[in-house]
């Protein structure tokens, strides 16, 4: 079992046939932020969406949590649901930082990487801001934070409030200490060749209104052969704002690499 996590991670599945596609969510959301993708990609894939420690119905994390711990725990969830399978790894924000660690742990079990809301930020100053905010406001900070993951236009919609309410309604089973430990893990420096060692087809999907959009191009430059798809008008969690455009980018990428035979 992965260290510093109090048990196996919770996950949801959709799809009974095809290769495996695994989804890892951003903060402050949980696995349900992939609802559109599970509904769509399960046409061709066996999909699994995982709650990382401290979110949804997953267990807490203890002090000393690392990115490697979270990556291992995600693989353990995949092994539990779909043992012995390679997977297309999809992450958003925090998830997009966990997914490369998953690849490095099991390169032969990684078919491709899809990174949304992803950027290269060597200083990682934002982690300290989030730690301070969660420390001050507690788990209730998740509600307002959800709107920060959206573009200014989408934030004003009833759908944005619906999503914020949806995630906040699960605060009773979430754990603020685990979320803080996740940000502490993200703040630790990664190996200089962390991105250069990615050896599978990689796609970055970035919303043009994401505050970290320019950092997506810096990340692309660090990954050999990486492609980037920009979704005009979308924010950080572009898979929720414009699922049609997000899914189209995934489908085109997978077809180009022979990973979707449809």
- What's the pLDDT band for 121 if we cut at 50, 70, 90? confident
Q: For the chain, give the mean pLDDT.
A: 97
pLDDT at 261 over 90: no
Task: Kindly state the percentage of the chain with pLDDT values over 70.
Answer: 100
pLDDT tens string 233-243: 999 999 999 99
In this prediction, residue 56 carries a pLDDT of 95
For residue 203, report the phi and psi dihedrals to the nearest 5 degrees: -125, 130
pLDDT tens string 166-208: 999 999 999 999 999 999 999 999 999 999 999 999 999 999 9
pLDDT tens string 9-29: 999 999 999 999 999 999 999
What is the set of domains in the chain, with CATH numbers?
Answer: 11-256 (3.40.50.1820)
pLDDT at 262 over 90: no
pLDDT at 123 over 80: no
């Amino acid at each position: 079992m992965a260290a510093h996590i109090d048990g196996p991670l919770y996950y949801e599945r959709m799809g009974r046939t095809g290769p495996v596609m695994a989804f890892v969510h951003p903060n402050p959301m949980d696995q349900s932020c992939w609802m559109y993708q599970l509904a769509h990609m399960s046409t061709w894939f066996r999909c699994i969406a995982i709650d990382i420690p401290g979110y949804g119905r997953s267990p807490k994390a203890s002090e000393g949590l690392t990115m490697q711990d979270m990556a291992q725990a995600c693989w353990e969830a995949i092994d539990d649901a779909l043992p012995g399978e390679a997977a297309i790894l999809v992450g958003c924000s925090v998830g997009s930082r966990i997914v490369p660690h998953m690849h490095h742990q099991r390169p032969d079990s990684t078919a491709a990487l899809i990174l949304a809301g992803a950027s290269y930020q060597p200083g990682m100053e934002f982690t300290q801001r989030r730690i301070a905010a969660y420390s001050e406001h507690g788990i209730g900070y998740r509600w307002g934070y959800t709107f920060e993951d959206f573009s200014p236009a989408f934030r004003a919609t009833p759908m944005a409030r619906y999503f914020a309410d949806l995630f906040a309604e699960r605060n009773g089973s979430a754990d603020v200490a685990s979320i803080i430990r996740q940000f502490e893990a993200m703040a630790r420096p990664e190996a200089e060749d962390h991105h250069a060692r990615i050896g599978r087809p990689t796609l970055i999907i970035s919303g043009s209104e994401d505050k970290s959009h320019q950092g997506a191009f810096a990340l692309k430059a660090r990954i050999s052969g990486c492609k980037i798809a920009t979704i005009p008008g979308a924010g950080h969690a572009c898979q929720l704002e414009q699922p049609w455009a997000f899914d189209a980018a995934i489908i085109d990428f997978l077809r180009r690499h022979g990973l979707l035979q449809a």
